[in-house]
Amino acid sequence: MKKRLLVLEDGTVFRGYGFGSSKETIGEVVFNTGMTGYQESITDQSYNGQLLTFTYPLIGNAGINRDDYESIVPTTKAVIVKEYARRPSNWRSQMNLDEFLKEKDIPGLMGVDTRRLTRVIREHGAMKAILTDDTREINKIIQQLSQTKLPRNQVEQVSTTRPYVSPQTGRKVVVIDYGLKHSILHELNKRECHVTVLPHDTNAETVLNLNPDGVMLTNGPGDPKDLPYAHEMIKQLQKYVPIFGICLGHQLIALANGAETFKMNFGHRGFNHPVREIVTGKIDFTSQNHGYAVSKESINKEKLMVTHLEINDGTVEGLRHRLYPVFSVQYHPDAAPGPHDGAGLFDQFIELMDAWKVEKKDA
């Protein structure tokens, strides 16, 4: 097994062994605390451009199967583990993690102290890193890393370029794809929603011409401030149709209504984040994957109300518009696998669409 280096921009070096693809890669190194769901995480487009570290020490036990993809062409930059299971044991398994990463051209690193790497990220924040088999002096690798700029068009890289339909017989829902997880479509289809998926740069007029009962804004990678066209689209759209935003969609709704977002030190990535619903006091355990958050102090209380807060750090986890049929959450109620505590939000979306149709008819 070939030796491979992970070099962080602060000069920290981790030495291990390569698996998966053999290519060199540069991106932002982050960590995920989930004990399960490695296939869903690797194929989640919110990890676009990131070197994904798993804190759980053994990854790949159940192999890779055809059912658990969140996207078919993942854009995660690399996978970093303490150890991967070479011989998975599960009746659905079609290949092991190494074979999967080779097929998807994603490099892997194993045999490193992922707990130490996680502590470095927690103390110094998510940072640029390079995964390489290069035998040059470390200083030269760090110089290459410092001269490399990470792309800002991440949503453009992962969004569909052409509209498509996931047909059902019920309510008509338009989904704006900023990095769509397939589990969102599963939840909508389970509720018999006829789903039309549109590209990230779709304008409000195009959406309204489809006469939808509701609009969903999906998760996705990167800085929400890099999508000013989406802010404008939401401003125009929210007056006419119910909107439900998840993760990046939540942040975009906040920006469209005058709030600010900020980059977190190391973000929330895992399946164990406790979130409190303010009105009821109910606590849900949630799946999360984001490096940006909405600034609570920046929220215009005449437009938006905070509905949910993260218990550990107090960050904003949910919003509802005071004037329009619009709500959002920072976490993933569709999580597969993950806690199912938030799945009822899809039912709330259905109820909101139905109430809006009655109100519209009576107006």
Name residue 129's beta-bridge partners. Answer: 8, 27
Whether residue 151 is preceded by a cis peptide bond, meaning omega within 30 degrees of 0, is no
Is residue 79 within a helix (H) or strand (E), and if so which, with residue range?
A: strand 78-80
pTM (global) more than 0.95: yes
Convert 257-286 to b/e letters by CB count within 10 Å (16 or more is b).
bebebeeeebbbbbbebebbbeeeeeebbb
User: Among 182, 247, 250, 341, which one carries the catalytic annotation?
Assistant: 247
CATH topology of domain 154-362: Rossmann fold (3.40.50)
**CA end-to-end span of the chain:** 69
Of 227, 171, 235, nearest to 199 by C-alpha is 227
Catalytic residue check, 193: no
User: Could you tell me if 231 and 252 are in contact, meaning their C-beta atoms sit under 8 angstroms apart?
Assistant: yes
Q: Assess whether the region 3-146 and the region 154-362 belong to the same CATH fold.
A: no
User: Could you tell me if 227 and 220 are in contact, meaning their C-beta atoms sit under 8 angstroms apart?
Assistant: no
Quote the CA–CA distance of 224 and 355 in Å, as a whole number. 30
Dihedral of alpha carbons 116, 118, 123, 124, sign: positive
* Average pLDDT along the chain, 363 residues, taken 10 residues at a time: 94 97 97 95 98 97 96 97 96 97 98 97 96 91 94 97 96 98 96 98 98 98 98 97 98 98 97 96 96 98 97 97 98 90 95 91 69
Quote the CA–CA distance of 205 and 226 in Å, as a whole number. 21
Catalytic residue check, 284: no
Cα 119-124-125 angle, rounded to 5 deg:
90
User: Among 68, 98, 334, 341, which one carries the catalytic annotation?
Assistant: 334
User: Could you tell me if 18 and 1 are in contact, meaning their C-beta atoms sit under 8 angstroms apart?
Assistant: yes
- pLDDT of 321: 98
**Per CATH, domain 3-146 is 3.50.30.20:** yes
Catalytic residue check, 226: no
User: Among 200, 250, 308, 332, which one carries the catalytic annotation?
Assistant: 332
Domain ranges of the chain: 3-146, 154-362
Quote the CA–CA distance of 217 and 245 in Å, as a whole number. 5
- pLDDT of 363: 63
- pLDDT of 361: 72
